[in-house]
Amino acid sequence: MMIVLCVGHNTVENKLRAKLVTEDEQTPLQEKLSVLADQIGVFGMWSAGLTFGALCLHLLWATAQGHHNLFSIEFLNHLVDYFIIAVSILVLAIPEGLPLAVTIALAYSVGQMKD
């Protein structure tokens, strides 16, 4: 024989499950780091675009001076190289590891303060 006191959402198991399902809110530091990472990403995108544009203008100027042929493989190789440079700048500028690095530094500092 057994007496059932509660069912459904009122059981202890479902109350624990509800506590585990709740989403973690970001701390103010994490929010500021997210904003900073977004700003650095936008700056990196603008830098990559301006660099690619400047290199393309330089290539067009050299072509106009007669150093390159517009419809040659060398011209296309230069364009691909300039695109790779722009993508490299973009990849290096996006700080995906910034929040992780700050979190690790804070965890280390808290560990040092406990000792």
pLDDT digits (tens, 9 = 90+) for 83-105: 999 999 888 877 766 777 777 77
Where in the sequence is the domain holding 93, given as residue range(s)?
34-114
Q: Is residue 7 part of a domain?
A: no
pLDDT greater than 80 at residue 26: no
Helix ranges (H only) for 1-115 are 12-21, 28-64, 73-93, 98-114
Number of structural domains, the chain?
1
Q: Is residue 107 part of a domain?
A: yes
Closest listed residue to residue 54, CA positions, set 76, 90, 91, 86: 86
CA-CA distances (angstroms) from residue 65 to 68, 70, 73, 74, 106? 8, 11, 18, 15, 56
Q: Is residue 56 part of a domain?
A: yes
Q: Is residue 15 part of a domain?
A: no
Q: Is residue 12 part of a domain?
A: no
Percent of the chain predicted with pLDDT > 90: 20
Q: Is residue 70 part of a domain?
A: yes
Q: Report pLDDT for 108.
A: 77
Q: Is residue 17 part of a domain?
A: no
